[in-house]
Amino acid sequence: MSTSTIIRPGETLTDQTAVLVLEDGTVFTGRAYGARGATFGEIVFNTGMTGYQETLTDPSYHQQIVVMTAPHIGNTGVNDEDRESRRVWVSGFVVRDPARRASNWRSERSLDDELVAQDVVGISGIDTRALTRHLRELGVMRAGIFSGDALTRGGYPRPVAELTAEVAGSPAMAGAHLASSVTVDEAYTVDPVEGAGTPDGPVATVVAVDLGIKSMTPQRLAERGVRVHVVPATTTIDEIVALAPDGVFFSNGPGDPSAAETEVALLRDVLDRRIPFFGICFGNQILGRALGYGTYKLAYGHRGINQPVLDRTTGKVEVTAHNHGFAVDAPLEGASVAPHDAGRYGRVEVSHVGLNDQVVEGLTCLDLPAFSVQYHPEAAAGPHDAAYLFDRFVDLMTTPSAALPTAADAHKEN
Amino acid sequence: MPRRTDISSVLVIGSGPIVIGQACEFDYSGTQACRVLKEEGLRVVLVNSNPATIMTDPEFADATYVEPITTEVLTSIIAKERPDALLPTLGGQTALNAAIELDKAGVLAEYGVELIGANIAAIEKGEDRQQFKDVVEKCGGESARSEIIHTVDEAVDAATRLGYPMVVRPSFTMGGLGSGIAYDEADLHRIVGSGLHYSPTTEVLLEESILGWKEYELELMRDKNDNVVVVCSIENVDPVGVHTGDSVTVAPALTLTDREYQRLRDIGIAVIREVGVDTGGCNIQYAVDPATGRVIVIEMNPRVSRSSALASKATGFPIAKIAAKLAVGYTLDEIPNDITKVTPASFEPTLDYVVVKVPRFAFEKFPAADPTLSTTMKSVGEAMALGRNFTEALGKALRSIDKGGSVFHWDGEPVAGEALDALLTEIARPTEGRLVATQQALRAGASVEQVFEATKIDPWFLDQIQLINETAAAVAAAPALTRDVLAEAKRHGLSDAQIAKLRGMGAAGESTVREVRYALDVRPVYKTVDTCAAEFAATTPYHYSSYDEESEVAPREREAVIILGSGPNRIGQGIEFDYSCVHATLTLRERYETVMVNCNPETVSTDYDTSDRLYFEPLTFEDVLEVYRAELAAGPVKGIIVQLGGQTPLGLAQRLADAGLPVLGTSPEAIDAAEDRGVFGRVLAEAGLPAPAFGTARSLGEALDVAAGIGFPVLVRPSYVLGGRGMEIVYSADQLTGYVERALEAAAADDRTTTGSLPAPLLIDRFLDDALEIDVDALYDGTELYLGGVMEHIEEAGIHSGDSACVLPPVSLSESEIDRIRRSTEALAKGVGVHGLLNVQYALVSDVLYVLEANPRASRTVPFVSKATGVSLAKAAARIMVGDSIADLRAEGILPATGDGGTLDLDAPIAVKEAVLPFKRFRTAEGLVVDTVLGPEMRSTGEVMGFDRDFPRAFAKSQAAAFGGLPTSGTVFVSVADRDKRSIVFPIKRLTELGFEILATAGTAVVLRRNGIPAMVVRKFSSGRGADGEPTIVDLITEGRVDMVINTPSGQGARADGYEIRAATTAADKSIVTTVQQLAAAVQGIEAVLAGPFDVWSLQEHMAAGVARTAAGA
């Protein structure tokens, strides 16, 4: 880690050299990994020890350079079962010790080859812990990875100042609207898995608005007998209603929720029709905004699969998968009236709280059939502790009288 | 929900003596638990027979009972203390079994004691094979196909369905005792036979072989709100077939995808719920088929285990501490994470480093034992290392083992052709040296596929070993040691010594490499174990080195004292040394910033809050020097303590001093003076102290000359060893020749000699027959001596002091003899130049007090003496090392105001230390128990203390604690050497008066009968069964018809008969007496047991009585 030089005395510049340059001018010199070239994005760290393939293919990481804090990445190679979408989305990948050899009975190819094939520029061999500590202290920021021809000019490394300037010129995450660039072009349907529906067909039909959806989400619903129509982010309320859904789902996705005006408007149309609603991650932030709460950017976000969340409706703690840089700003204690349009959506409760830093991790509408969580009950990667939320959604759709559990229920039990 | 208010006192049961499979990790967990419970304001009652534990220091409990862990004694303690609850999950299988016994006996119900942290149903579900199988199935998991059997015939029948090879696992045993793999019917008979014996329920599980599968463990915790977290995943580098305690293991798991890992997690959580572990920790083991991913749940432990200790040290998540909190009612989200302070314990630690654990074995102590690793644990200790990648962590872990041949090497030409084929065959069999052999096979050009085929070690790990080989090759081939070359070598864990060797740089090479490294600025940084991969700031300075960019050592203002620990447990260097190191840090923390350096994950010293700073590092010169440099850069350093951690740190003293490090206490020159026979001889001569005639030799010729001068028998040993390693009593020139030749071969194999001359001299002493051996621990500050304790051995000289029972205060020494001992010890301390602790061994023969040896360091007996006399010698020693005088310590109350350990009053309680030996663990290739006769080489793994008002009772308690007790009726078999026949008449007569039947071999029977003792003659083993099938003595022992065996070996070596008798006795778990002195003690002990149940006193009561006596005397 330095702020001025790429190559230290005694070290040599080779065609394997790569550098990571942060917006604040900090430079890490390492080895090129994956594709060669230049790439830019918001640099964030993920603390999961497993699940690099799911992380790489999670659309929420669009335009982000992801640092894996676990040192060994690529050990189990890449297979065609574990990807969470049609491609790798991260704009850059930072690891310490990439595997030289993949070893797993399901592995089909190496991660290095996959990154090259998908043109993902990466860097390896840097002090990822020092980098993580830096980001923790200073907050996430823009960064660039340079290798191959993008790093050199006339056989010499380009000046740090020039690389830093390029990073500073790249787009920022705050204010970015990215759903349109990750969503599917065409709607598709995921049918209930065999044996999960009822003899008369699906348990329920859900329209899932793809803001960057992970494939495990419709899968989790399909496992519960639900038919899921995954639709593009640009779908209108009339198109949704035409599919006669029992419920509407808003997925996770990249970008700043404060820039998601069309999605917020669409969700308000759903809420106005009292169609049961469930949102995950970006979907949670959009529910928050639709209800009239603010959202804000966290200093360095939550990205990992070990995060404790308290479900206030049961008093139980679940270990959950997180990937969010923004959060909803809602009153933590008790029910509050949703500020939008003078309380048109009634009362809202923060149903889930992150125990590490008391961040809002879930919202439940007390007067509407709508709820959402900031984290990832579909896991992939991560623990399955929160899978019950899909059951909660199914109940909400299939039992008209069902009320969502509230924090008051937990007190009753005790 | 805060802690329960309906509990105000808790009984905690410890794990007893250190044995294989149950070592000091339970002192670590028990100490944490006691601390937590006391902090919570609960009255803590503790029972543990092991005096070398920190947990039995009186300040860790309100009532500390160093008493045998038996149902009878525990019942007495419960009746006396009336605890509200019993916490049995932190003392290993010993505590859990004790709790089950108490429950079965109705004791818990009778006294209204609630079991917390576990319930009987859950324990049984977790440990009973069939019940557990049902649980696994219910949780959607799979078990290996298996059958439960209760007889050998049933086993043979089951084999027709399961096929060979087959795994044999007895129920309710620890450390895999009695289990093994049967490849054919003969194996099956043997393993099932002993398995049925060891299982308290006479039950054995047979199962399909999953040999060669990938093996994983998860450490889970659950609270009463049903919150469950996985603290750590552990992957075994050695696949299924090697006990996890004997495997090289790595954390976190490195070769599973998230899907596969989450499946293990889901099954684990379902199992912990279904078994019903309400609160606390549990460990689950899995096997994964490397070809298909099929998962099989192997077993679970519904308690804190050895792996829990490893997981705690690997992650920074203190499982035992949290388990204790959960047991008294807290939930995980109510407990803060110690390390971050701001986040709760209801999370799963994430690692940004790799942890490697390597076992340490002691097969060299049991040359007859089969060294093949199996499902019965045989390792005696372990080292753990952390690195930022696997190669770095592995290199550090291997050099932490501190034993020749344990690190990777590139010496000589790689093998080729048939030799490589042979090597590939060899590594198919798991042994202590397999990893190094695997590295050699890869180095020789075997492919990862070939080596995988042979070993089933995952190809990813093999590729990493190959990466180390490639790095080494690059070092060897580089035109010069450039920054790039060095940085890459260090990044993959090569030591300076390895680099020097690769470069052919000769003896001084290591220093040269270091200088080049410094010149090129290639230095380690120190990272922090923070449970969260740097997501949150850590406040706990728990560090490990890595060749990376950024260091996290914080600057400090207070002066630091660095304490070197003792490394992996081994026979002769175990928990006793950790005890002394912990005491040093506890007392020095008041004045200094204490910095602990150690690599043993089982210990209290490597708990992150024992010292101000913890460096989890190998105890090699290079690694210690780097820690010192890092600390010197952080603030002032007072010095480094090397004399408390045993031979490992002591062996570094001179080099550290030469490198300019301030070594505190006794100087390295003085340490040398005690070891160097020439110098030591002068010290003795000046002080006018007699020693057995002795000499030193570096070659065979010299050795024979010395022995001829002294006269046989002689005691021969290498210098600079602990635990009597390589020590033998030699009776003839032939035997001496054999000894020296073996030593030369060993040195040549380690590349330390080529000339027929040994690198360090052999010490040859006149062996004193029939001597009374006396052990002394003392403190010396340069002017004054404090005699810590005088221990009288129960066995005669010639048996290693670590294996010998001893008594304190001495029961047959006069006041004037003790005075003579004090004066001699003082003269030695002064002559050698001791500043701190000194251990001296004396032999008393015909009123002459010979000095056998003096060691200017903490000894194995320091904790025993401290516990028996109520004075912490290690604390006092640490204070002397930083400049305090004995007078200061007396004034301060750390030492008594007057008197010392040699002037204990007449009513002072008697403490007996008894050693615990691991013979049962070791079998010859034919499946027989190895010989159990004691000798000058130490082989015990642990010790217990019997503490009572007189010697017979204290001795009887020590026997109950160590071996399950002396018999009080039944049959005694006697067969003694001729020289012992005169001495046994009275004790054997007494046994007949007490109602015992006596069996004897013909020779012994003659003497007994002529003295009026009825003794039945039995057939010798060598005579075989009689014409009408009359059994031999070995048959009788095996059939359980003998309750105690008295067998003293005659002359040199173990004659076949004696060996068979002792082996059968050990296998049958009966009392065995191998010396005349032991016999006298045993008879007194039996009388004490017959006199009625043991009385129990806590250490606190003993101390209060002592204070009262002093007051009355004054």
In chain A the first and final C-alpha atoms are separated, in Å, by 53
Taking CA–CA distances from B520, the nearest residue in chain A reads: A10
pLDDT at B181: 85
Query: Do B213 and B288 form a contact (C-beta atoms < 8 A)?
Result: yes
The residue among A133, A170, A131, A157 whose CA lies nearest residue A15 is A157
Is it true that domain A17-168 has CATH number 3.50.30.20?
Answer: yes
Question: Which residues in A lie closer than 8 A to residue B260 (C-beta atoms)?
Answer: 104
- Nearest-CA distance from B282 to chain A in Å? 18
What pLDDT band is residue B124 in, cutting at 50, 70 and 90? confident
Whether B255 sits inside 8 A of A76 (CB atoms) is yes
**Euclidean distance between CA atoms A270 and A398, whole angstroms:** 17
Question: Which residues in A lie closer than 8 A to residue B332 (C-beta atoms)?
Answer: 317
Q: Is the peptide bond before A331 cis (omega within 30 degrees of 0)?
A: no
Chains A and B form CB pairs within 8 A to the count of: 183
**Euclidean distance between CA atoms A212 and A280, whole angstroms:** 11
Mean pLDDT of A352-364: 97
A251, pLDDT greater than 90: yes
**Euclidean distance between CA atoms B749 and B698, whole angstroms:** 17
Whether B352 sits inside 8 A of A355 (CB atoms) is no
pLDDT at B724: 61
pLDDT digit string, tens, across residues B863-913: 999 999 999 999 999 999 999 999 999 999 999 999 999 988 888 999 999
CATH number, span B9-116 = 3.40.50.20
Q: Which of A10, A81, A381 sits opposite B520 (nearest CB)?
A: A10
Q: Between 1.10.3470.10, 1.10.260.40, 3.40.50.880, 3.90.1200.10, what CATH number should domain A179-413 receive?
A: 3.40.50.880
Extract the tokens encoding B117: 């942290």
Residues 92-121 in A contacting B (C-alpha not used; CB under 8 Å):
96-97, 99-106
- Nearest-CA distance from B27 to chain A in Å? 30
B798, pLDDT greater than 80: no
- Nearest-CA distance from A162 to chain B in Å? 24
Q: Which of A28, A49, A381 sits opposite B351 (nearest CB)?
A: A49
Mean pLDDT of B203-207: 89
Q: How many CA atoms lie within 13 A of B1082 on its CB side?
A: 26
pLDDT at B905: 86
What pLDDT band is residue B945 in, cutting at 50, 70 and 90? very high
What pLDDT band is residue A106 in, cutting at 50, 70 and 90? very high
Taking CA–CA distances from B229, the nearest residue in chain A reads: A319
What pLDDT band is residue A411 in, cutting at 50, 70 and 90? low
The residue among B267, B348, B361, B339 whose CA lies nearest residue B311 is B348
Mean pLDDT of B360-382: 90
pLDDT digit string, tens, across residues B700-719: 899 999 999 888 888 888 77
Ranking A65-69, B461-465, B671-675 by mean pLDDT, the lowest is: B671-675
- What's the Rg (C-alpha) of chain A? 22
Mean pLDDT of B800-812: 89
One DSSP character per residue, A143-154 reads EEEEEGGGTEET
* Sign of the alpha-carbon dihedral angle for A65, A66, A72, A78: negative
Residue B625 β-bridge partners: none
Q: Which of B257, B350, B448 sits opposite A82 (nearest CB)?
A: B257
pLDDT digit string, tens, across residues A113-171: 999 999 999 999 999 999 999 999 999 999 999 999 999 998 888 999 999 999 999 99
The residue among B555, B551, B553 whose CA lies nearest residue B542 is B553
**Euclidean distance between CA atoms B327 and B330, whole angstroms:** 7
Q: Between 3.40.50.10860, 3.90.1150.10, 1.10.10.10, 3.30.1490.20, what CATH number should domain B145-209 receive?
A: 3.30.1490.20
- Nearest-CA distance from B561 to chain A in Å? 28
Query: Do B937 and B900 form a contact (C-beta atoms < 8 A)?
Result: no
Taking CA–CA distances from B222, the nearest residue in chain A reads: A317
In chain B the first and final C-alpha atoms are separated, in Å, by 52
Q: Which of A53, A127, A307 sits opposite B550 (nearest CB)?
A: A127
Mean pLDDT of B413-434: 95
pLDDT at A156: 87
- Nearest-CA distance from A313 to chain B in Å? 13
Q: Which of A69, A71, A101 sits opposite B463 (nearest CB)?
A: A101
Question: Which residues in A lie closer than 8 A to residue B459 (C-beta atoms)?
Answer: 101, 103
Query: For residue B504, with 0-12 CB atoms within 10 Å meaning exposed, 13-18 middle and 19 or more buried, which class applies?
Result: exposed
Say if strands A38-46 and A141-147 run parallel, antiparallel, or are unpaired: antiparallel
pLDDT at B752: 57
Q: Which of A73, A306, A312 to mutate to test the interface with B (most CBs of B within 10 A)?
A: A306
**Euclidean distance between CA atoms B525 and B511, whole angstroms:** 19
Residues 286-315 in A contacting B (C-alpha not used; CB under 8 Å):
304-308, 310, 315
Taking CA–CA distances from B528, the nearest residue in chain A reads: A129
Residue B615 β-bridge partners: B543, B597
Say if strands B714-718 and B762-766 run parallel, antiparallel, or are unpaired: antiparallel
Across all residues in chain B, what is the average pLDDT?
91
Whether B333 sits inside 8 A of A382 (CB atoms) is no
Query: For residue B714, with 0-12 CB atoms within 10 Å meaning exposed, 13-18 middle and 19 or more buried, which class applies?
Result: buried
Q: Which of A76, A128, A129 sits opposite B256 (nearest CB)?
A: A76
Residue whose token pair is 């899968």: A219
Question: Which residues in A lie closer than 8 A to residue B355 (C-beta atoms)?
Answer: none
B19 DSSP 8-state letter: B
Whether A97 sits inside 8 A of B227 (CB atoms) is no
Chain B interface includes A17 (CB < 8 A) = no
pLDDT at B770: 75
Query: Which are the catalytic amino acids of A?
Result: 281, 376, 378
Extract the tokens encoding B137: 């199935």
- Residue B303: how many CB atoms within 10 A of its CB? 29
Residues 130-159 in A contacting B (C-alpha not used; CB under 8 Å):
130, 132-133, 136
Question: Which residues in A lie closer than 8 A to residue B255 (C-beta atoms)?
Answer: 75-76, 103-104
Query: For residue B885, with 0-12 CB atoms within 10 Å meaning exposed, 13-18 middle and 19 or more buried, which class applies?
Result: middle
B1053, pLDDT greater than 60: no
- Residue B230 identity: V
Mean pLDDT of B454-481: 97
Residue whose token pair is 């013909």: B1002
Mean pLDDT of B258-268: 97
- Nearest-CA distance from A132 to chain B in Å? 6
**Euclidean distance between CA atoms A406 and A336, whole angstroms:** 13
Whether A101 sits inside 8 A of B484 (CB atoms) is no
Taking CA–CA distances from A302, the nearest residue in chain B reads: B535
What pLDDT band is residue B33 in, cutting at 50, 70 and 90? very high
- Residue B767 identity: F
Taking CA–CA distances from A48, the nearest residue in chain B reads: B350
CATH T-level fold of B525-672: Rossmann fold (3.40.50)
Q: What percent of chain B has pLDDT over 70?
A: 97
C-alpha dihedral over B394, B395, B396, B397, to 10 degrees? 50
pLDDT at B926: 67
Taking CA–CA distances from A75, the nearest residue in chain B reads: B255
- Nearest-CA distance from A100 to chain B in Å? 8
**Euclidean distance between CA atoms A282 and A60, whole angstroms:** 9
B935, pLDDT greater than 90: no
CATH number, span B693-767 = 3.30.1490.20
Mean pLDDT of B985-992: 95
**Euclidean distance between CA atoms A402 and A76, whole angstroms:** 44
The residue among B878, B937, B865, B963 whose CA lies nearest residue B908 is B865
User: Domain B963-1090 is of which CATH architecture?
Assistant: 3-Layer(aba) Sandwich (3.40)
Residue B358 β-bridge partners: B383
pLDDT digit string, tens, across residues A155-193: 888 999 999 999 999 999 888 899 999 999 999 999 999
The residue among B252, B229, B272 whose CA lies nearest residue A385 is B229
pLDDT digit string, tens, across residues B748-793: 766 555 567 777 788 888 888 778 899 999 999 999 999 999 999 9
What pLDDT band is residue B1052 in, cutting at 50, 70 and 90? very low
Across all residues in chain A, what is the average pLDDT?
94
Q: What percent of chain B has pLDDT over 90?
A: 68
In terms of pLDDT, which residue wins out, B1046 or B675? Answer: B1046
pTM of the predicted model as reported, rounded to 2 decimal places = 0.94
**Euclidean distance between CA atoms A352 and B627, whole angstroms:** 45
Mean pLDDT of B728-745: 85
Taking CA–CA distances from A381, the nearest residue in chain B reads: B258
Question: Which residues in B lie closer than 8 A to residue A305 (C-beta atoms)?
Answer: 258, 348, 350
Within this chain, domains B9-116 and B525-672 share the same CATH topology: yes
B1039, pLDDT greater than 90: no
Query: Do A71 and B354 form a contact (C-beta atoms < 8 A)?
Result: yes
Domain regions of chain B by residue span: 9-116, 145-209, 525-672, 693-767, 963-1090
B1093, pLDDT greater than 70: yes
B16, pLDDT greater than 60: yes
Question: Which residues in A lie closer than 8 A to residue B353 (C-beta atoms)?
Answer: 71
Ranking B263-267, B742-746, B1101-1105 by mean pLDDT, the lowest is: B742-746
What pLDDT band is residue B3 in, cutting at 50, 70 and 90? confident
**Euclidean distance between CA atoms B99 and B94, whole angstroms:** 9
Mean pLDDT of A6-17: 79
Say if strands B180-182 and B204-208 run parallel, antiparallel, or are unpaired: unpaired
Domain regions of chain A by residue span: 17-168, 179-413
For residue B1064, the SS3 value is: helix
Mean pLDDT of B307-319: 95
Total residues belonging to chain B: 1114
B1114, pLDDT greater than 70: no
The residue among B765, B711, B721, B768 whose CA lies nearest residue B743 is B721
Question: Which residues in A lie closer than 8 A to residue B225 (C-beta atoms)?
Answer: 315-317
C-alpha dihedral over B40, B46, B51, B53, to 10 degrees? -30
**Euclidean distance between CA atoms B15 and B47, whole angstroms:** 9
pLDDT at A4: 66
- Nearest-CA distance from B280 to chain A in Å? 16
Q: Which of B258, B262, B263, B272 to mutate to test the interface with A (most CBs of A within 10 A)?
A: B258
A414, pLDDT greater than 50: no
